[in-house]
Chain A
């Protein structure tokens, strides 16, 4: 574990690396390190997977119909999507 300090230096860069925002020189250094260091590969993969899971989790964007109706009523907006039988 003598290179642990070294790994830790890279740890804070993983996030920028995943976002493709790491400067090219640092990116090359990090990729060279990843070739040699299985621990860092695992941390990077699990970090990426964490982000992917939360991305899926946020993708349900439809507002439940009842909540939408109450919102339009509260805002006193005509609701073009409302079922006319509710009038």
Chain B
């Protein structure tokens, strides 16, 4: 994700001086990712937009206290993450009631060893697959989902993710392992069915 290109020292000084044009630029360069984080974490556009607005309102107020120990991007994402977690705690996120039930997060289970990578490419790009990816990630606990989204969806490094979430890097790695394996498992269930479907067409 390249628009995370770090902001110059001069730009940060402008921000700290209360320059509203600099703040507008900050918003334009980061809001797409912040909104995406909200969508992936909260699962619906209304909550994501609320999170987006609250994040920048809080960021603007908190700017004078920004101490340059972390990058502006990590600082901003920390605010966004806290906002998202608060909305999740309030239970405002939509719970899907269509009977889709995920597996237990930590249950010991046999490994799924069906190789679904060989499915035709259009299977991976379909609208249905996109919906399934969202549903599957919603099966993760917020703690695992947050790490997964920051690392694998948004492309932050382990260190950046640790700074944003204020946890240590080993915790990031451990959560990422669990999240990835769990998602692989969920995707396997889905694509195995797709494979049956495409085989029976022959």
Contact = CB atoms under 8 A, between A and B. Distances in A.
B130 A57 contact: yes
B124 A77 contact: no
B188 interface: yes
B137 to A, nearest CB: 7
Contacts, number: 113
Size bracket of the A interface: 35 or more
B20 A77 contact: yes
Interface in B1-28: 1, 3, 20-21, 23-24, 27-28
B183 interface: yes
A15 to B, nearest CB: 4
A26 interface: no
B165 to A, nearest CB: 17
Contact of B115 (A42, A53, A55, A68): A42
A12 B170 CA distance: 13
Contacts of A54: 133, 137, 148, 152-153, 183
A77 B25 CA distance: 10
Interface in A47-80: 47, 49-51, 53-55, 57-63, 67-68, 70-72, 74-75, 77-80
Interface string B46-62: 00010011001100100
Q: Is the interface of B mostly helix, strand, loop or mixed?
A: helix
Size bracket of the B interface: 35 or more
Interface stretch (B29-37, B66-74, B86-94, B99-107): B29-37
B153 A55 contact: yes
A24 interface: no
Question: Which of A14, A15, A50, A81 gathers the greatest number of chain B CB atoms within 10 Å?
Answer: A50
A12 B116 contact: no
A81 B137 CA distance: 34
B180 to A, nearest CB: 5
B190 to A, nearest CB: 11
Contact of B180 (A50, A59, A78): A50
A63 B31 CA distance: 7
Given A54-B133, A55-B155, A61-B32, A45 B187 contact: no
Q: Which 7 A-B pairs have the closest CB atoms?
A: A58-B153, A61-B32, A15-B177, A42-B115, A50-B184, A63-B32, A39-B113
Interface of A: 7, 11-12, 14-16, 19, 21, 39, 42-43, 45-47, 49-51, 53-55, 57-63, 67-68, 70-72, 74-75, 77-81
